[in-house]
Structure 1
Amino acid sequence: MSEKTERYGSVVIERGVYTLGYTQTNEAGEVVTQREPMWRAEPTGGSVVVYPVSPEDREQLKPADIFSIWDCASVAEAALDALGLKLNLPDLADIWAKASDDGVDLCDYCAYQGEHCENCYIKLKMMEVM
């Protein structure tokens, strides 16, 4: 958790569908078509948003952070950070690196067997270290 992070008392975690907005202009630079980004809560959606709300009236207090449904560790980290708490997981990147130094490839034990590697929490943490 960073020193500058605001702390809140209530956080919403919601699954849904996020549609990017866009603006289309003509050759003269005039806006022809414009669509605002849109969020729709849906239990089968591919995205998750995390945002703090007022405990009194449940009003959203700041813009939401948006994540892929595959990035659950970052969802948890964002929600806990907003509450002023720390995700207390061991340093998995360090464990991964040391296992690799010993000739062990932890990917061999992954339930996804090579799928969704771009969202692997450990690989993301390894990239932060590099």
Structure 2
Amino acid sequence: MAIVPLKPDTMAADGPAEVFGDWQAGQYLAKVLEMLQPTRKTNLPDLEAMIRRAALDGLDLCDYCEDCYMCRDCIVKEWKEDPGGG
């Protein structure tokens, strides 16, 4: 995924492209919302915070996963391994 700022009158690039991997959907969406500056409140839950808190409370979301073999690419596994967030 890529975000390229455009000049509205010519639709020509107005700055460098920002490229995001398919695993960076949250960062991509955050950047889009930052650029759009919506006037109404968004209702996007903070899944990272929720998963980290669940791990601190002893809940293992991996128990509910049907794609166990994909752990290497799993953001839930990454967040769970560092429930403090840093």
CA contact (8 A) 2:55 2:83 kept: no
Paired with 2:42 and 2:65, the residues of 1 have a C-alpha distance of: 22
Tell which deviates more after alignment, 57-66 or 92-101.
92-101
When residues 101 and 77 of structure 1 are mapped into structure 2, their CA distance, relative to the original with a 3 A threshold, is same
The residue number in structure 1 matching 2:73 is 116
The residue number in structure 2 matching 1:49 is 2
Paired with 1:111 and 1:102, the residues of 2 have a C-alpha distance of: 22
Paired with 2:2 and 2:27, the residues of 1 have a C-alpha distance of: 11
When residues 128 and 49 of structure 1 are mapped into structure 2, their CA distance, relative to the original with a 3 A threshold, is farther
Superposed CA RMSD: 3.0
CA contact (8 A) 2:3 2:18 kept: yes
Return 5+ residue gaps in structure 2 as ranges: none
Q: Deviation at 1:64?
A: 0.9
When residues 128 and 97 of structure 1 are mapped into structure 2, their CA distance, relative to the original with a 3 A threshold, is closer
Amino acid at match of 1:81: E
Q: Which has the larger helix fraction? A: 2
Q: Are positions 1:93 and 2:48 aligned together? A: yes
Q: Deviation at 1:92?
A: 2.1
TM-score w.r.t. length of structure 2: 0.64
Amino acid at match of 1:63: P
Paired with 1:65 and 1:127, the residues of 2 have a C-alpha distance of: 28
When residues 112 and 89 of structure 1 are mapped into structure 2, their CA distance, relative to the original with a 3 A threshold, is farther
Paired with 1:111 and 1:56, the residues of 2 have a C-alpha distance of: 48
Number of residue equivalences: 79
Name the larger-Rg structure.
1
TM-score w.r.t. length of structure 1: 0.47
